[in-house]
Structure 1
């Protein structure tokens, strides 16, 4: 697709060969916007966004000898790899008191970034007297099967063990191991996750209710599968966020795509665009620039958190006309406002990150979220094309995406009807400015499967470290979640005493 979200890039040299062989394909891949509680590195560079580094010293790192394949009994299924998890026992009331265990389920990134940013567990540890556990997702960070990342990500045969079902089975095995080691048989477990990790948390509670008492699933778009949610929801909300910030900004962005194409069609058009946007390398196609801007707008909306509010930053740069009153000059102003003053912008010479490569595989196998661009957005219409998506994935991995598998294995259709009597103790939290909230659970399903939402919230804001500058509505959201979890735990203790 000509406006496909570009891969984020950091490192992972061994995989450059794979992607250099598929350059033509990669340009038209319709990639699914990254699911992460943290957001782009550009905003993590702000000190007020990284609050967890000082608490790392309270965590001790362990490695569990994890089973490669939980669901088969072939000889190779019994292979193992070392899976990383970290424990903070500073605040724990102990096994004798059956004090709670809060477990953060890592997602599509090394666990290190979550330790530095996801602070809900640490912030509430004293209140819950809880043991804190952070578990890294298989195939990310230091939790790599097959001895090396290069070998693990080599082809579909080794990648075949890389899926959500295996991941939550990993978490189950590690939680059981921790409870046994600490002789904490009766300590209730609450699993917590954000974004893709939020999906894992909710699915873990459904699949392993004997292990987790409850789940906090933050910004988990569990309904963005199998056409349950209209495909245009994500980018419609991105556009709504920008329009809410500034009508002139919204209109400028909406008109800019045609202007970029018009300039690019001139004999020296790409050179003009390269100079206008101070690209790091000369543009070879207008799609490079459009992909970059598309990604920027989506990230700004998804992670539109206080106190920086990236959408307002971008629109301030666009409306400020600091780089000329012409259309593209205003768009460049938004780019500078978002990224700050740099020597160059767009197509930086970087390598593929393990998250980019890993998420590409996950979305080409089971995490197929049909996200397209409709007529009600500031982007040119571009519907999700499943046939083209399948062809792209087959060209990369020789694997056909399983479009219906998530709803087959975890459910999702008629969720209110099904879960109101089957499920319990799940909090689905969402901020309604988050584009992924369009695929979230926004209304209570039952007394114990509840939706906690905020009108002004963004992606996973509630599980990040609390700050003095947090608005009252965010403070209230967290208090509501804590109150609900306390009720689950108190009822559990009452049942424990009776049985």
Structure 2
């Protein structure tokens, strides 16, 4: 975005989402109870951005009659797309990178996300998913005895020793989330988005899973080495903390609440088409957990009702970019819908790689994607001026 802003002589504005960072509507009480959290919705966030644009146009000299483009990645990409849908008079277009706007209800299969994660590991080592799939049963085998739990804790260099079945379940969830995160940030160069990582980190991880026929003990030792790539690439970590998977503060409390109210994304695994333990999508179980935690019930249909689900062809000027390595692409828009609802797929791209700064190690596919995105954005700006300071009509 920094590069594009300079090229287009644009002002770059980063707007903070309410309830994240310092934008706390009720200060220290913002997460106190449901009454204070009631204003944490995508709708309210979009309305904030609409008010902000109006304010900037009124207060910044020369900004009044200038076009605005919304850009975002991941949830931010969803917001960018939805913003153009809901406020087409305020933004001339949107770049929605890695935006899984269809990862809701039954718009896509619930298993597609984990299948893409598995495919990424398969590409990096033919026996990699096979070894990971086998590891779950091996963990259970050692976890069946107290001496086995102790051995597992030591071999995996865990900060807290495993004590019971619940600890083992949390361990496996933590390992699963690690593989998911690696698929998201499988970038072609060193990076520290979620953790400090080497270039193409899945390839590095899969070096430890080359031989599918090692003993159970060696498999657990290899599992530690693989996890160590993600959690200790810097070499500074003394033990592995199973309560965290990312170093950055990404606003997990606010996101957990949103995932319990409106951002209800079905995920499932079958252990055959993916490398994870079988787990069905259980809306009732999750809804009960959310009620226990927040005192709220999920609204699984609301996002589709609010933003249209797959019925978005009446909108215009949105670029949906997806990296084919990114598991979120499974819930994204990956085929052109109309001439102005455009899809750019990036074969060698992980999670919103196109939004990251230019790098000498960028694959040609992402360089081409960025050039295409800029071409469309420049066209939106030209259309804005050609049509007297407003976006080109949808039916033009």
TM-score (norm 1): 0.71
Q: d(CA) in 2 for partners of 1:475 and 1:349? A: 33
Q: Per-residue deviation at 1:132? A: 1.1
Q: Check if 1:227 corresponds to 2:109.
A: no
Q: Per-residue deviation at 1:189? A: 0.4
Corresponding position of 2:143: 264
Q: d(CA) in 1 for partners of 2:334 and 2:248? A: 35
Counterpart selection for 1:177 from 47, 55, 60: 55
Tell me if structure 2 keeps the 8 A contact 1:313–1:338.
no
Q: Check if 1:445 corresponds to 2:340.
A: no
**Matched position secondary structure for 1:250:** helix
Corresponding position of 1:71: none
| 1:93-492 correspondence runs (5 A) | 120=1, 122-148=2-28, 151-182=29-60, 183-284=62-163, 285-307=167-189, 308-319=199-210, 326-339=218-231, 340=233, 341=235, 342-347=237-242, 355-374=251-270, 375-412=272-309, 415=310, 418-420=311-313, 422-492=314-384
**Which one has a larger percent strand, Structure 1 or Structure 2?**
1
Call closer, same or farther: CA 1:180–1:292 in 2, change over 3 Å: same
**Matched position secondary structure for 1:329:** helix
Q: d(CA) in 2 for partners of 1:262 and 1:324? A: 9
Q: Per-residue deviation at 1:358? A: 1.0
Tell me if structure 2 keeps the 8 A contact 1:257–1:290.
yes
Task: Report Cα offsets for 1:452-483 as digits up to 9, x if no partner.
Answer: 01112110110111112212111111001001
**Matched position secondary structure for 1:131:** coil
Q: d(CA) in 2 for partners of 1:324 and 1:264? A: 13
Q: d(CA) in 2 for partners of 1:323 and 1:345? A: 23
Task: Report Cα offsets for 1:246-303 as digits up to 9, x if no partner.
Answer: 1212111010000100110123221111011011111122123212211110000011
Call closer, same or farther: CA 1:237–1:466 in 2, change over 3 Å: same
Higher relative contact order (CA 8 A, sep 6+): 2
**Matched position secondary structure for 2:13:** strand
Task: Report Cα offsets for 1:305-332 as digits up to 9, x if no partner.
Answer: 1121121121123338999982212211
Q: How many residues align?
A: 372
TM-score (norm 2): 0.89
**Matched position secondary structure for 1:239:** helix
Tell me if structure 2 keeps the 8 A contact 1:139–1:152.
yes
**Matched position secondary structure for 2:65:** coil
Tell me if structure 1 keeps the 8 A contact 2:67–2:389.
no
Task: Report Cα offsets for 1:162-204 as digits up to 9, x if no partner.
Answer: 0100000000000010011125222000000110010000000
Give RMSD over aligned pairs: 2.3
Call closer, same or farther: CA 1:142–1:214 in 2, change over 3 Å: same
Q: Per-residue deviation at 1:438? A: 0.2
Q: d(CA) in 2 for partners of 1:251 and 1:460? A: 28
Tell me if structure 2 keeps the 8 A contact 1:191–1:216.
yes
Tell me if structure 2 keeps the 8 A contact 1:323–1:332.
no
Tell me if structure 2 keeps the 8 A contact 1:317–1:335.
no
Gaps (5+ residues) in structure 1?
A: 1-119
Corresponding position of 1:16: none
Gaps (5+ residues) in structure 2?
A: 190-198
Q: d(CA) in 2 for partners of 1:219 and 1:323? A: 39
Q: d(CA) in 2 for partners of 1:428 and 1:495? A: 24
Q: Per-residue deviation at 1:352? A: 11
Task: Report Cα offsets for 1:116-147 as digits up to 9, x if no partner.
Answer: xxxx2x11122211111110000111111113
Q: d(CA) in 1 for partners of 2:159 and 2:63? A: 55
